[in-house]
Amino acid sequence: MHSEILDAVHRALAEDIGSGDVTSQACVPADCRASGYFLARQSMVLAGVDLLAIIYEARGGVEELKLLHRDGDRLTEGDRIATVRGPARTLLECERVALNFLQRLSGVATLAHEFACLVEGTGCKMLDTRKTTPGLRRLEKAAAAAGGVTNHRMGLFDAILIKNNHIAAAGGVRQAMENSRAAGLPIEIEVRALDELHEALACGATHLLLDNLSPQQAAAWIHMVNGRATVELSGGIDLDNVRSYAETGADFVSSGAITHSAKAVDISFRLELL
């Protein structure tokens, strides 16, 4: 498991438990054992289930943990996600952190699946963005992938995406592209006006980001590109209009909503004494 994910889990546990779960310590005997299960209370695409083992291990471990489904599985209301058996205090103190991760990440995966389904058959791929919860990007992008979308760059370090402010700071489209080539990384450039589009193509751009166009405008611009570069569309793309954008001939459409606007799904944890 990636160190960023382990760190996120440990920070979440420390945030919630702090110096100890005073309620469980006060009312539950230390030697009490229990079993429990995680239950889907709505239809969803599951994500984050592998975190359960990390969560319990961080708090001393449990006797048994069975994952009944995997990330990317489509669940319906009433499906059991996982079962666990061990010290009752451990199950209780881990309950909220486990649910927070499962509910949030499955919410991302479920919304991602909706987007992915809407672009099926168009030849266009759905991308996520960097609009993620601080500290949870790797987890949220994994959840988006579990839902069926393609991950865009992980951060500022693994690909070059020249946006409007970079163009302004560099002194123009041509200068921004010429400055970037020495890095030896893939280069994508955002264009917002026709003169920028033509200049980017004249400079040899091979990957264009067309931002904040209507589907009709996007189709016209893509026609002008005429296959000279791959095209990504972004800006204001949601479940209501993503199909229209995907049908313009674009190679990719991206939406920050997949991660920044996903609604947590309903998952519960049921505990029983042994």
Please give the Cα distance from 82 to 85 (Å, whole number). Answer: 11
195 is annotated as an active-site residue: no
> What Cα–Cα distance (Å) separates residue 93 from each residue in 13, 25, 139, 232?
9, 10, 22, 45
> Tokens in use for 130?
């960097």
Residue 72 backbone zone (phi > 0: left; psi -120 to 50: alpha; other: beta)? left
Told to judge if 190 belongs to the known catalytic residues of this protein, a careful annotator would answer yes
> What does the DSSP assignment read for 39-69?
EE-S-EE---TTHHHHHHHHTT--SEEEE-S
Among candidate residues 131, 174, 247, 266, the one labeled active-site is 131
Out of 188, 190, 196, 199, which one is annotated catalytic? 190
Token pair belonging to 20 = 């100890």
Question: How far from chain centre, in Å, is Cα 113?
Answer: 11
Q: Mark whether 163 is an active-site residue.
A: yes
Catalytic residue among 74, 163, 174, 192: 163
125 catalytic, yes or no? no
Q: Which two tokens stand for residue 182?
A: 């020495």
- Going from the C-alpha of 266 to that of each of 12, 47, 194, 260, the distances in angstroms are 20, 13, 46, 18
The upper half-sphere exposure of residue 49, i.e. CA atoms within 13 Å in the direction of its Cβ, equals 26
Q: Which of 16, 79, 114, 211 is catalytic?
A: 211
Task: Identify the DSSP state of 181.
Answer: G
- Is residue 165 helix, strand or coil? helix
184 neighbors 207 (Cβ within 8 angstroms) = no
Q: Active-site residue 211, yes or no? A: yes
Catalytic residue among 74, 80, 85, 96: 96
User: What letters, b where the CB count within 10 A reaches 16 and e where it falls short, cover 80-97?
Assistant: ebbebbbbbbbbbbbbeb
Task: Indicate which residues carry an active-site annotation.
Answer: 96, 131, 163, 190, 211
